[in-house]
Amino acid sequence: ATILGIETSCDETAAAIVVRDHNGVGTIVSNVVRSQFDEHAAFGGVVPELAARAHISFLDHIIAQACREADMALDDVDAIAATAGPGLIGGVLVGLTTAKALAAALDKPLLAINHLEAHALTARLTDKVAFPYLMLLVSGGHSQFVLVRGVGDYQRWGTTIDDALGEAFDKVAKMLSLGVPGGPAVEAIAKSGDSKRFRFPRPLLREARLDFSFSGLKTAVRLQAEAIGPLNQQDVADIAASFQAAVAEVVGTRARDALARLATELPHAPTTLVVAGGVAANRTIAAALQTAADVAGATLIVPPIALCTDNGAMVAWAGAERFAMGARDGLDFTARARWPLDSTDMKVIPHEA
C-alpha cells in the first residue's frame, strides 16, 4: 500500500509518502521535513503556540512538496496517516485535522498514529528487523526501553524519572551558550574536550532498575560551570566532553543490563537492540551501545539519523504496518497530549469492511 504520513507533534513540520509491499518491504518515495529552529531560537526552547502556528503556515506546502517529489497526486495514496499524539497538542491538532480533512475529501482511510510507535517501527523500514526487539528511545521528550513484540504490542521496561536525554543535552547546551539544536552542538564541541577533566555523576547506575535520571547530572554540570566562573573555549569543551562521557556510560550500562535481564526473564528474549530518537545521532552514545550489544551477543541497529529525528516517513511507515493488519481509524479520533506506548488501545483491531 502507498501511505501519506504527516508529522506535526513538536517542532518539525513533515510529510512523506512510503510504500510497503506484500513482503513487508518498505520504500520511502518522498520525505520532506521543515524544522522550526529559527522560529524558536530567540526563546531558547520550543514555544507551543508558535509551533502550532508555523505548522498551520507550512503543512499544506510540505504535503504538496512530498507529492511533487514522489511524482504522485494525493489521490494516488491508499490511506492518510498522521501523528495523533503524544506531543504538543496544538501541533498535533494541526496535523491530525489536516489528515482528517484529506481523508474525508479524498474518501480514503485515516490512520491515527502514536508518535512513539512511529519511532519504534522505523527500524523495520530501513532494516529487516523481526519481532521481538528491544528499542531504546532517546529523544527530546523520552528516554525509555520498550520491548517491541509486534505492531501495536509494546511493553515498557524502563523510563526516565525526570528529564529526557535529549532534553538534558539541550539544557547543557543552553548553560554553555552553544545555541540550538543543543545535542549536535554539545557533541561537536566535545570533540576538542577532555572527557576526564570532570567526573560528573552517573545517576542510578548502581541500582538494579532499568530507569534513567538526568536531572541531577544536569545540575552537577551547572554547578561546575558556575564554579569555574567565566568559561573559556577549552572549559566549555571539557564540560561538554565530560557530560557526554557520563551519559554514554549510563546509557551503555543500562542497555547491557536491559538485554541481560530480558534474556533471563523472557522465554523469547530479543537479540536485537534498536535505537530511536534524535540522540541516536550521537557517536559516543552509539559506540557505548555497540559495546553493550557486543557484550550481550546482540545486534545493534541504528537507523539513518534523518529517520531517527522526527520525520513523516516514520509516521507513514507505522501507518503502512497498521494498514496491512487491517487497522482503520474514525474521523472522530481525538488528538492526545499524552499517549503511552503500552496503553491498551495501541492493539491493532482489524476493521470490519
State whether the Cα torsion 168-171-176-182 is positive or negative: positive
Q: What's the min distance (Å) between Cβ of 330 and ligand ATP?
A: 24
Segment 173 to 212, residues that bind ligand ATP, using CB under 6 A: 181-184, 187
Provide the 10 A C-beta neighbour count for residue 98. Answer: 20
Whether a cis peptide bond, with omega within 30° of 0, leads into 184 is no
Segment 287 to 326, residues that bind ligand ATP, using CB under 6 A: 309-310
Q: 282: annotated binding-site residue? A: yes
Q: Which residue has the cell 501507518?
A: 319
Does residue 197 contact residue 126 with C-beta atoms inside 8 Å? no
Question: 169 touches which of Mg ion, Fe ion, ligand ATP, none (CB within 5 to 8 A by kind)?
Answer: ligand ATP
Segment 118 to 177, residues that bind Fe ion, using CB under 5 A: 139
Stretch near ligand ATP under the rule CB under 6 A, chosen from 62-70, 91-99, 200-208, 275-283: 275-283
147 vs 308, which CB is nearer to Fe ion?
Answer: 308
Candidate residues 187, 257, 310, 329; the one interacting with Fe ion per rule CB under 5 A: 310
Candidate residues 3, 10, 62, 134; the one interacting with Mg ion per rule CB under 5 A: 10
Q: 141: annotated binding-site residue? A: yes
User: Residue 16 is placed in which grid cell?
Assistant: 512523506
Interaction between residue 122 and ligand ATP (CB under 6 A):
no
Interaction between residue 54 and Mg ion (CB under 5 A):
no
Candidate residues 163, 170, 235, 257; the one interacting with ligand ATP per rule CB under 6 A: 170
Which residue is nearest to Fe ion, using beta carbons?
310
What gap in Å lies between CA 121 and CA 313, rounded to an integer? 11
Q: Binding pattern to Mg ion, positions 297-336, x when CB under 5 A?
A: -------------x--------------------------
Q: 183: annotated binding-site residue? A: yes
Interaction between residue 82 and ligand ATP (CB under 6 A):
no
Angle between helices 165-175 and 215-228 (to 10 degrees): 10
170 vs 238, which CB is nearer to ligand ATP?
Answer: 170
Q: Which residue has the cell 548553560?
A: 175
Which residue is nearest to Mg ion, using beta carbons?
10
**How many residues make contact with Fe ion (CB under 5 A)?**
2
As annotated, the binding site for Fe cation includes 115, 119, 310
As annotated, the binding site includes 115, 119, 137-141, 170, 183, 187, 282, 310
Q: Which residues bind Mg ion (CB under 5 A)?
A: 10-11, 310
Q: Which residues bind ligand ATP (CB under 6 A)?
A: 9-10, 87, 115, 139-142, 166-167, 169-170, 181-184, 187, 277-279, 281-282, 309-310
Q: Which residues bind Fe ion (CB under 5 A)?
A: 139, 310
